[in-house]
Amino acid sequence: MLKYLLLALALGWAVLADAQETPPEPGQPALATTAEEALAAAEEAARKTNFRLALEYYTQALALDTTSVAALLGRARAAAEVGQYEQVIEDTTLVLAVQPQDVLARTLNGFALALTTSPEDGLKLLESARDDNPESAVPLNYLGIHAVLTGDLAGALAYFDEAIALAPQQALPLNSRAVVHARRGNLEAALADMTAALALEPASALLLTNRGSLLRASGDMAGALNDLNSALAHDPAYAQAYFERALVYVSQGQQNIAQIRAYYTSAIDDLNAYLTTIHPLDLNPQAALYRDQLSASLASLP
């Protein structure tokens, strides 16, 4: 859910006899031998917004070092991204037992409670984390996300404005505000924020894909295709970019049968890539149907 909002995998793993000779399948975590190795792999997966893979690596890190606050906080943040709020509450409760003033733990704990069992108390905890940490953009960003998820787009915009004023060097609040602008129909403002976010993190497949989606919506197919190609160049396993690029291909102006055939073929290839890289829990249920419809249309061309 949040992966795409922040526009935001119960994976098993096999014991590898020889990791060099038998690499894991794409998206499957290898077994780490140290907590530090698992934590580094988790942070890399989270950086690429593969939060379900990050969850597995954070869990490995905790199996190797049960006292790692960094792993607990990392797993809580990744769990929040994929809607596993019970895990968020469990992990942040453990952190708060030893670090009761940790701003991220307080924020995530309140955020998860606000969306599950204790909406009023959770929101109060979120607001308390903000009030006690006026220099931090973290509570503001999660207050904004909570506002989006509960349908208060105007409130979300105000929170993200505050977060950006506090942390203009962070891409996340800009990305979040761009989503709100887009939902409110202001594509120009959304594109401005997404471009500003990309200036801070130009290699982010997530941000490139999000801007590509916005450019497609605004009718700039060439710009959208350029961003989506760049996203996949930076991260060939970023499934959402394949899906978005397929939409660009079928939205292209088509002058003749040869062009239609070429665009439909490219779209089908990208939808197949999406279906083989996306985790089943994150699958767009229309993707396979859309691919099959394109295949039928392609077969019917003269």
pLDDT in tens, 55-107: 999 999 999 999 999 999 999 999 999 999 999 999 999 999 999 999 999 99
What pTM does this model have? 0.83
CA-nearest of 126, 124, 176, 139 to 2 is: 176
Q: How far apart are CA 30 and CA 122, in angstroms?
A: 36
What amino acid occupies position 240? Q
pLDDT for 11 equals 21
pLDDT for 281 equals 82
Q: How far apart are CA 248 and CA 219, in angstroms?
A: 10
pLDDT for 92 equals 98
Q: How far apart are CA 72 and CA 88, in angstroms?
A: 9
Sorted by where each starts, the structural domains of the chain and their CATH numbers stand as: 202-302 (1.25.40.10)
Ranges of residues in the chain whose predicted pLDDT is under 50: 1-26
CA-nearest of 163, 161, 159, 164 to 148 is: 159
